[in-house]
Structure 1
Amino acid sequence: MLLYMSQSQEATSPPLHSVSVAGVVVREDGHLLAIRRADIGTWELPGGILELDETPEAGVAREVWEETGIHVEVNDLTGVYKNTTRGIVALIFRCKPSGGTKRTSSESTAVSWLTPDEVSERMSEVYAIRLLDALDGNGPHVRSRDGKQLIPAE
């Protein structure tokens, strides 16, 4: 059933959210997969917007492969993170590499296996916390940020 809204209904509708997915890919030696984004140059997890017709797990596997060339086995949901400024809800999954060859893409200018210390050095707190949360085994974590910094839980 299709629903049609008038312009007045659209104006009073609550803002929409988008859902993104990302993978914390952990090698047996404890190194973590990270990319340097081509558009803004920051280090982050491989991931992106979840497509309407895919499961979160399939979306994570697709995004990691597209951005890094690494195939993954998707395991546990480790966190849910909301950017309150942009309306993005990110689902973060711990993954295990299962094949492929590391490479860059149109979305990444570098792909590296980092130690947890290197993650903290290269990534802003709002992205590093996603990797570090995935390693602590106490998830899934639920956190929000205002676009720049974490918002303390109430």
Structure 2
Amino acid sequence: MKQIAVTLLLLILVSCQYFNVKKTTPEAILNEELKTFNWNEVDNYPSFSVCDSFQDKQDIKYCFETTLANHISEQLQYQTIIVNQDVKDTIMLSFLISEKGELLIKDIEIDSITIHEIPDLKASITESLNSLPQIFPAVKRGQQVKTQFKMPIVLQVN
């Protein structure tokens, strides 16, 4: 009988650790959640109203980029550009879409020869972006967020 009592007493003492409840703080839960977060992707890309019919994320991104490129090229076609030599260049446009849907130009990379031939090209591109239709910002986990893009623009003037 003593052996059973001693065995039960040892089992009770050893099993006490299984009844301890670990307390977690909200900060610990938040830190764990932030570790699983992919900060480089959004749930929905920025878009224009013409892109509303698309459901796939990549289709919306393609529609946004195509609409933006078409708008810039249409605006540049209205301008009379006179050059001494043919210009064929790819311009890199870096921009930011704010969480309010505002487009902010970060950088426009243009070759020096193109700048020499078309000195007001940066101003023309900036001006064309001022007449864009309303941009709906990107969404990440139900919140509107900033997104940054780098987009090539092919310029060909004969």
- Considering the TM-score relative to the shorter chain, is it more than 0.5? no
- What TM-score, normalized to structure 2? 0.27
Judging by fraction of residues, say which structure has more helix: 2
Q: Structure 1 length as normaliser, TM-score? A: 0.27
* Bigger strand fraction: 1
Work out which of the two has the higher radius of gyration on C-alpha atoms and give 1 or 2: 2
